[in-house]
């Protein structure tokens, strides 16, 4: 039941000075940060990360967005972490994301607006969509040496 998942603070979150605020949301939920680094992604790496989207209409603008500045990559662990992290992050479309979620508290734009402007949806965070994606993405972003094993207080309280 303990899972690991990948979270990225995308360039908009970094440029807006929201790194600390976003990391705080995961820490306060009791999730463990097992890996953390800042990375500048190139086009080739973007295609590997977003492999399922490469042929889609929005891919070009997504690639421009994700390569436009550094991202903060995190490996996050916890009980049912893949699903829980998606819940903390909120819906893909900021307009639809519920208040209380990261996307619902810090963004508001709709798909329709972004499509009309031919820009990517700037929704602050990436989180792996399911367990298979989480495993693939963690392997892509982190080496074994970059993933740390240590006890956190929340584990002591759920033993
Ligand atoms: O990030 P998430 O898994 O919630 O959504 P996705 O469907 O896997 O799409 C990946 C990313 O592409 C989104 O987070 C948006 O930044 C972007 N996107 C977009 O700009 N326009 C769309 N119509 C769909 C996705
Ligand atoms: Mg996705």
What pLDDT is recorded for position 159? 74
* Per-residue pLDDT at 155 exceeds 90: no
User: pLDDT tens for residues 89-145?
Assistant: 999 999 999 999 999 999 999 999 999 999 999 999 999 999 999 999 999 999 999
Q: Is the CB of 113 under 6 A from ligand 1?
A: no
User: pLDDT tens for residues 54-70?
Assistant: 999 999 999 999 999 99
Q: Is the CB of 121 under 6 A from ligand 1?
A: yes
Which tokens in the block code for residue 89? 């992050």
Residue 4 backbone dihedrals phi, psi, to 5 degrees: -120, 145
| Residue that has been written with the tokens 């965070």 in this structure | 125
Q: How far apart (Å, rounded) are the C-alpha atoms in residues 124 and 88?
A: 12
Task: State the pLDDT confidence band at 156, using cuts at 50, 70 and 90.
Answer: confident
Task: State the pLDDT confidence band at 19, using cuts at 50, 70 and 90.
Answer: very high
Residue bearing the CA closest to ligand 1, atom 15? 121
Q: By C-alpha distance, which of 101, 107, 10 is closest to 50? A: 10
**Mutate which of 8, 57, 68, 92 for ligand 1 pocket (most atoms within 8 A of beta carbon):** 92
Is residue 89 within 8 A of residue 125, CB to CB? The reply is yes
Q: Where are the domains of the chain?
A: 2-142
Span 2-142 CATH architecture = 2-Layer Sandwich (3.30)
User: pLDDT tens for residues 20-43?
Assistant: 999 999 999 999 999 999 999 999
């Amino acid at each position: 039941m303990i899972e690991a998942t990948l979270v990225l603070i995308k360039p908009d979150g970094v440029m807006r000075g929201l790194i600390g605020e976003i990391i705080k949301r995961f820490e306060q939920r009791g999730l463990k940060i097992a890996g953390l680094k800042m990375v500048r992604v190139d086009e080739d790496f973007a295609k590997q990360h977003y492999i399922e989207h490469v042929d889609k209409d929005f891919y070009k603008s997504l690639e421009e967005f994700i390569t436009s500045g550094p991202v903060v990559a995190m490996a996050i662990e916890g009980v049912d972490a893949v699903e829980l992290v998606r819940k903390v992050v909120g819906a893909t479309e900021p307009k639809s994301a519920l208040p209380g979620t990261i996307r619902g508290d810090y963004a508001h734009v709709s798909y329709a607006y972004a499509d009309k402007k031919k820009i990517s949806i700037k929704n602050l965070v990436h989180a792996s969509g399911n367990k298979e994606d989480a495993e693939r993405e963690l392997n892509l972003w982190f080496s074994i040496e970059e993933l740390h094993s240590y006890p956190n207080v929340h584990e002591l309280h759920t033993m």
